[in-house]
Amino acid sequence: MADKGFGFGLGKMKQLAQAVQKAQQVQEDAKRLQQELEEMTIEGQAGGGMVKVTMSGNQEPRGVEISAEALNEGADVLSDLVLAAMQDAYRSSTETMRERMEALTAGLQLPGM
């Protein structure tokens, strides 16, 4: 006699349990990743290192270093260097976050993705 129920045979229940277990593992891994990103220091720079910006892997600003040489460039150039260093740090942070998320979700079969 076939198992009629709600369309969940024993095999389906096992698959569902495995999916729930996998989801819990991903959630734990995501929490761990969030902590790792928070603890990271990512640097961006401009002007050959005249200006350096640091931020966390979560893109929280941490610091700015401006060399004496950059100060001598004038306000407009210095503003451009700070902006470029911020953009560099942001790009690095975004790339790191993307790579880590891809590693976290590798092997998951997510609908629509």
Q: Model confidence over 13-58: pLDDT tens digits?
A: 787 887 788 878 878 888 888 899 999 999 999 999 999 999 999 8
Q: How confident is the model at residue 62 (pLDDT cuts 50, 70, 90)?
A: very high
Give the separation between CA 78 and CA 4, rounded to whole angstroms. 73
- Distance from CA of residue 81 to its chain's centroid? 25
Tell me the CATH number at 68.
Answer: 3.30.1310.10
Give the per-residue pLDDT at 87.
97
- Asked, for residue 18, whether it belongs to a domain, the answer is no
Q: How confident is the model at residue 64 (pLDDT cuts 50, 70, 90)?
A: very high
pTM for the complete prediction? 0.71
Nearest to 40, CA basis, from 53, 66, 59, 64: 59
- Asked, for residue 76, whether it belongs to a domain, the answer is yes
What residue numbers bound the domain in which 61 lies? 30-105
**CA distances in angstroms from 52 to 7, 57, 103, listed in the order given:** 60, 16, 29
Task: Please state the domain count of the chain.
Answer: 1
Q: At what angle do helices 10-39 and 75-105 cross, to 10 degrees?
A: 160
- Asked, for residue 24, whether it belongs to a domain, the answer is no
Contact between 51 and 64 (Cβ < 8 Å): yes
- Asked, for residue 2, whether it belongs to a domain, the answer is no
